[in-house]
Structure formats: C-alpha cells, structure tokens
C-alpha cells in the first residue's frame, strides 16, 4: 500500500449549482430563467423534468449544511440564482433573494465552512434572453451590475468569487450543439456568445478590483484531454489539439495572454466564422485573476478524419470503462490537462472546482454501495496528487456533487452526488462514497 499525502492546508470541498438543487422556482420573488423556459419546452429535457422542486434546498439548506459538517468539508462551492437577485435581469433588486443568501451564507460560516460563490451557473434571467441574451452586450452590462450588487452586499462574508461556470457550455453546448438552454444551433452565434461571456468576466474582475474588496476572484472553465491516436501522425496531433483547444485555449488564452489562439482562429475562419471584437475587449478580458477553477470529468483519444465533425476528427473507442452517463473514464487526462495549463500559462493557483462521476446506485437495505464512484474519485484524486508533485500550484479540490440533483438535459435520470436524494420524499442518504471522502478530508491522505 502506498500513501497518497496532500499538502498541509489543502482545501477539501464539494460543489452544487442553484438551479440544480434549490427548487422554489416561483417563491421568494425569483423571476424565470432560461432553464425554466427550456424545461417547459417539450422534448428538451428527459422525461419532461424541471428544477421547480429539485432537491428543495431553498427550504432545506440547514439540513444540507449539517450534512456538509458531517462530511467535514472546509469549503463549499455554490452558485447564486441571478433571477433571485434581479428577477428581470437588469431592473429592481429583490431583497427577499438577498436575504435568503444571507441566511444561507451565515449558516455556512457558522458551521466553519468557507463559501466559494459562483455568480453565473447558467440560470440567465429569461427577460434578458428575450432581448437577445448573451448575444446582446446589454446582458454583459446587466451581469456586471448583478455582480456588483453581490460584491457589495456580501463584502466581508464571501471572499472567494467565481465569475462564470463553464463558459464553453454556456456558449457552444447551448448555442451551437443546442443541448442546453436556450437550445440554439448556430456556430457563429456560439462564438459571439463565448466572446461576450469573457468580456463579462473581465469587466466583473475589473469592477471587483476597482472597489478594493477583500477577497479573491477567478473563473471555472470546463476542460477535457484528447490524446492523438498516433504520436507520429501530424494530422492526428493537430486534430487532438483542436479538440482540446476548443475547451482550453479558446477560453484561457484571452484571459492569460490577451489574445485568441491563432490555430483556432484560423480554423474557425476556414468555417466562415468571424471574431467580433470591439476595441478594448481583449484588454478587458485579460484582467489578472487570483485563481483558476478547473472542471474535469472525461477525456478520449482521437485521430484525423476529413469531414469528421467541426474539427476533422473522430474519437477512437479503446475499450474505456464508462460512468453511467456514458462518459469514458480517462483519469490520466486529468494530470495531462493540469500540466498543459501550467506549462502554457504559468503556476497560477488552481482549484479543482468540479470532478465527479455519475453512478445511479439505489439504496439496498438503506445503504448505497457506490463502489464505481469511489474508484473513479480515487483514480482522479491520485492524478491531482501527481499534478501537485509535478509542480502544479494546486490549492484545493471540490467534488461534484454534494448531492444528487437535476442533471440539466438529463433531468433526474443521472446521479452525481455523494448523498442520495429520493426525489419523491426528498430524504437525503449519504452513500458509501460520502464516508470514503470523509476519511480523506479528515486525514489529508489515503492509501492506494
């Protein structure tokens, strides 16, 4: 048995998002979001599910914080529902919404758990979508105003801020592939929205700095790692680089280098896609940040194939184990992408803001034996440790997710939680993975 030891002061946490757990969709002055609309559109979400109730954490947050205390986490990543704070996106402030998050944050702090607050985890107010959504620069301005409301209101209580969760999903998955709200299928639109999201991020960071708040601010892009099928075939190497670049360089280079990656810009131009950059945008986007959040779940191997999707590539099945959502388990890719990021952008402090697995184990005699999730987490946390040993400036790890919840277009069919939620009774039951993770948190090491 080998001991996998983590540095002193390493932070262990768990993560959730507002629309996935809160429910109370029409309570407390909350306005509708694009996900309320998307869920009510037939055929968009499996089984016609929605987040109207979800885990009912809006009413059960004290119980959920007790679960966090039992788990032993020192940090908790959650998101604020923009429509709870500004119901129409850019008008009157909803005091009931602010009061709710004050109660929630106060309870977290009382429990000795530091809040890491994500400002945007996809629940755009529908009123802004009706005016063009993220394709309208007015939405950028509205986001900055909403962020400033939160910064001022929670100054001294929340000291760790994340502007955007997974901008790739908010742009390409939602507006090119059409899988998530609002469900568009337009590549130019998606590229434009990706840019506007980054401008919103930059302006928000700039505002945070200008006001001199005590704390740190970053963002949390999702990543993947694609290896080339052949390390001797330049076409394979280039195809894999484009697949990774779509997630990494496209959303990292503007922030850390002040420019878009030339190889990706050229590729998009070959598809008749243009970048619509206004004067000063790149300077705004490249505001220095305090930390980088990394979300990682899966990776793959690909090779060049002319006409193969957007990037002339095809994924090659090598007999991977897969989680219940169908994603390949590619733990080595986790270390690879972390080292790639550090080599390209420097030793910026990194938190793993999401990493976890979907296994749909149900209770048997009151126990949920989710051995698949434990195995997945062990493999991936070991890769985090490898990255630390290789010089990656790693500060903490948040597993996804604290509890089973509304899994976006998959509805309630896919479970990512350490805690099982019965969606009828809303009873929470810690799984075996909960107790396994609890031991790691308590000891700061584990055996492999």
Peptide bond preceding 401 in cis form (omega within 30 of 0)? yes
pTM over 0.95: yes
Question: Buried b / exposed e across 323-358, counting CB within 10 Å, b at 16+?
Answer: bbbebbbbbebbbbbbbbbbeebeebebbbbbbbbb
**Statement: residue 1 has pLDDT above 90:** no
On whether the CB atoms of residues 23 and 405 are closer than 8 A, the answer is no
Look up residue 205 and give its two tokens: 């960071």
Distances in whole angstroms, Cα of residue 364 to Cα of each of 367, 432, 434: 5, 12, 16
**Interatomic CA distance for residues 119 and 150, integer angstroms:** 8
The predicted-structure confidence for 393-417, as pLDDT tens digits, reads as follows 999 999 999 999 999 999 999 999 9
Give the percent of the chain with pLDDT over 70: 100
On whether the CB atoms of residues 52 and 23 are closer than 8 A, the answer is yes
Look up residue 134 and give its two tokens: 């993220």
HEC states along 83-98?
HHHCCCCCCCCCHHHH
Can you tell me the mean pLDDT for 302-317? 97
Res. 356 pLDDT band, cuts 50 70 90: very high
**Statement: residue 216 has pLDDT above 90:** yes
The chain-wide mean pLDDT, for the chain, equals: 98
- Find the distance separating the first CA and the last CA of the chain, reported in whole Å: 6
Q: Which residues are catalytic?
A: 166, 354
Peptide bond preceding 61 in cis form (omega within 30 of 0)? no
**Interatomic CA distance for residues 418 and 285, integer angstroms:** 36
Question: Tell me, what's the pLDDT at 14?
Answer: 99
Can you tell me the mean pLDDT for 126-130? 98
Cα angle for residues 337, 220, 149 (degrees, 5° grid): 165
The predicted-structure confidence for 361-378, as pLDDT tens digits, reads as follows 999 999 999 999 999 999
Alpha helix segments (H runs only) across 22-88: 34-39, 57-71, 82-85
The predicted-structure confidence for 68-120, as pLDDT tens digits, reads as follows 999 999 999 999 999 999 999 999 999 999 999 999 999 999 999 999 999 99
Q: Which residues contact 210 (CB under 8 A, 6 or more apart)?
A: none
**Statement: residue 448 has pLDDT above 90:** no
Question: Tell me, what's the pLDDT at 117?
Answer: 99
Res. 257 pLDDT band, cuts 50 70 90: very high
Half-sphere exposure of 239 (CA within 13 A, CB side): 27
Can you tell me the mean pLDDT for 43-51? 98
Question: Tell me, what's the pLDDT at 255?
Answer: 98
**Interatomic CA distance for residues 387 and 383, integer angstroms:** 6
């Amino acid at each position: 048995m080998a001991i996998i030891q983590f540095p002193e002061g390493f932070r262990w946490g768990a993560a959730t998002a507002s629309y996935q757990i809160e429910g109370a969709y029409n309570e407390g002055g909350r306005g509708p979001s694009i996900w309320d609309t998307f869920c009510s559109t037939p055929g968009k979400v499996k089984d016609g599910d929605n987040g109207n109730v979800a885990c009912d954490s809006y009413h059960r947050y004290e119980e959920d914080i007790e679960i966090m205390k039992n788990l032993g986490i020192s940090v908790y990543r959650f998101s604020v529902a923009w429509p709870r704070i500004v119901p129409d996106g850019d008008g009157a402030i909803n005091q009931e919404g602010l009061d709710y998050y004050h109660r929630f944050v106060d309870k977290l702090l009382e429990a000795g758990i530091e809040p890491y607050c994500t400002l945007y985890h996809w629940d755009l107010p529908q009123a802004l979508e009706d005016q063009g959504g993220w394709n309208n620069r007015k939405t950028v301005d509205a986001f900055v105003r909403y962020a400033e409301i939160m910064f001022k209101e929670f100054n001294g209580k929340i000291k760790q801020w994340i502007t955007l969760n997974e901008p790739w999903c908010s742009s390409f998955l939602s507006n090119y592939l059409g899988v998530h709200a609002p469900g568009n299928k337009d590549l130019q639109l998606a590229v434009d929205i990706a840019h506007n999201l980054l401008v919103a991020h930059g302006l928000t960071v700039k505002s945070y700095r200008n006001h001199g708040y005590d704390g740190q601010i970053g963002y949390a892009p999702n990543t993947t790692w694609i290896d080339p099928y052949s390390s001797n075939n330049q076409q394979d190497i280039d195809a894999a680089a484009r697949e990774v670049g779509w997630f990494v360089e496209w959303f990292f280079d503007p922030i850390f280098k002040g420019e878009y990656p030339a190889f990706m810009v050229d590729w998009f131009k070959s598809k008749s896609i243009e970048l619509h950059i206004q004067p000063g945008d790149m300077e705004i986007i490249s505001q220095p940040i305090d930390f980088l959040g990394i979300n990682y779940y899966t990776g793959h191997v690909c090779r060049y194939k002319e006409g193969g999707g957007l990037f002339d590539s095809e994924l090659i099945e090598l007999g991977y184990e897969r989680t219940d959502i169908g994603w390949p388990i590619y733990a080595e890719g986790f270390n690879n992408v972390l080292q790639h990021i550090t080599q390209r952008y420097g030793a910026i402090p990194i938190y793993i803001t999401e990493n976890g697995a979907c296994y749909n184990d149900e209770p048997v005699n009151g126990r949920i034996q989710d051995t698949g999730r434990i195995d997945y987490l062990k493999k991936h946390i070991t890769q985090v440790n490898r990255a630390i040993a290789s010089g990656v400036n790693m500060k903490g790890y948040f597993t996804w997710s604290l509890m089973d919840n509304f899994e976006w277009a998959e509805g309630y069919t896919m479970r990512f939680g350490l805690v099982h939620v019965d969606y009828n009774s809303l009873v929470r039951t810690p799984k075996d993975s909960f107790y396994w993770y609890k031991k790691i948190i308590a000891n700061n090491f584990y055996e492999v």
